[in-house]
């Protein structure tokens, strides 16, 4: 090999190392699509054509501090997780609970909120938490939610006499219950408290201790390197005080204590 050939060969190896090993980062997009369920207050909803809610304001604040351009897209909850898994959207923010089943097709950020499941009935109902979830009663939950899954896995699979009815969103489920077409609704505690606080003719009669945590999520494999930005963004807006401003606007009215730190430590471990 001549000296010239050796020099060219070494230069090629060097450039290849630079571009493939160090110079290239994850792919980037001009605008990232953020999927929401716009019928899930206080986390995400639409008011006078504007997206509102805790998760909406948080992801906007994260986008600001991390230099991301985002577009919010309303999608039905029944298909939103699979849409993220297929890369049709880039980020999911809408009170998303961490589950091992979902963990197989999407990647979660660090968690930011803890919830259980609340048992909702009409205000004039004389049922208790046990009778409301048995004795042939009709139980409604939003399709694809952890509440719906809990009824399937813990009541129906165990032979408890209930009829589970899926709904596109919790607003429709509560409407059916107050109209007498449904006996009970099982919903995340914060969502249930929102219906009570907003004057719907419902009450909470019990809680199922599911010990869930909410997190944001991206497509499996994090192709755009968004998880680090989301996690770091949460920490930045908490330290700046912006997180607490959003908390006060959307969640403080339900009696929750402000968080000591954000993000939280994930509790669920999946194989």
Please indicate, yes or no, if residue 13 is contained in any of the structural domains: no
Please indicate, yes or no, if residue 197 is contained in any of the structural domains: yes
pLDDT tens readout for residues 65-81 = 999 999 999 999 999 99
% the chain with pLDDT above 90 = 89
Please indicate, yes or no, if residue 18 is contained in any of the structural domains: no
* 141 and 129 within one domain: yes
The encoded tokens of residue 151 equal: 């009824």
Please indicate, yes or no, if residue 154 is contained in any of the structural domains: yes
* 121 and 90 within one domain: no
What domain count does the chain have? 2
Asked which of 212, 236, 263 is the last residue of a domain, the reply is 212
pLDDT tens readout for residues 129-177 = 999 999 999 999 999 999 999 999 999 999 999 999 999 999 999 999 9
Which pLDDT score, from 0 to 100, does residue 26 have? 58
Which pLDDT score, from 0 to 100, does residue 123 have? 97
Cis peptide bond N-terminal to 42, omega within 30: yes
Q: Are strands 91-92 and 32-36 parallel, antiparallel or unpaired?
A: parallel
Regions in the chain scoring below 70 on pLDDT: 1-26
Q: Which residues contact 9 (CB under 8 A, 6 or more apart)?
A: 1
pTM recorded for the entire structure: 0.88
Which pLDDT score, from 0 to 100, does residue 27 have? 78
The CATH number of the domain holding residue 44 is 3.40.190.10
Which pLDDT score, from 0 to 100, does residue 271 have? 85
Which pLDDT score, from 0 to 100, does residue 20 have? 39
In contact, 246 and 58? CB cutoff 8 Å: yes
Which pLDDT score, from 0 to 100, does residue 241 have? 98
The encoded tokens of residue 180 equal: 């007498």
* 219 and 201 within one domain: no
Mean pLDDT of the chain: 92
């Amino acid at each position: 090999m001549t000296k010239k050939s050796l020099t060219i060969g070494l230069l090629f190896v060097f450039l290849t190392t630079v571009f493939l090993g160090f110079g290239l980062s994850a792919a980037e997009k001009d605008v990232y699509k953020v999927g929401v369920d716009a019928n899930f207050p206080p986390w995400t909803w639409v008011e006078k054509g504007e997206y509102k809610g805790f998760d909406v304001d948080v992801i906007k604040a994260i986008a600001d501090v991390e230099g991301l351009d985002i577009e919010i897209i309303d999608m039905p909850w029944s298909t939103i997780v699979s849409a993220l898994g297929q890369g049709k959207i880039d980020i999911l923010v809408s009170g998303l609970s961490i589950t091992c089943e979902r963990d197989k097709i999407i990647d979660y950020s660090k968690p930011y909120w803890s919830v259980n499941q609340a048992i909702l009935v009409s205000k004039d109902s004389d049922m208790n938490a046990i009778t409301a979830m048995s004795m042939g009663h009709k139980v409604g939950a939003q399709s694809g939610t952890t509440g719906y899954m809990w009824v399937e896995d813990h009541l129906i699979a165990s032979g408890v006499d209930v009829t589970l009815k899926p709904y596109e969103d919790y607003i429709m489920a509560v409407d059916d219950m107050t109209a007498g077409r449904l006996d009970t609704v099982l919903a995340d505690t914060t969502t249930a408290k929102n219906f009570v606080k907003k004057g719907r003719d419902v009450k909470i009669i019990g809680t199922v201790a599911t010990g869930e945590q909410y997190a944001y999520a991206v497509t499996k494999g994090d192709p755009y390197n968004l998880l680090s930005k989301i996690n770091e963004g949460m920490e930045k807006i908490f330290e700046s005080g912006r997180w607490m401003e959003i908390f006060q606007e959307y969640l403080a009215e339900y009696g929750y204590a402000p968080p000591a730190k954000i993000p939280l430590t994930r509790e669920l471990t999946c194989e």
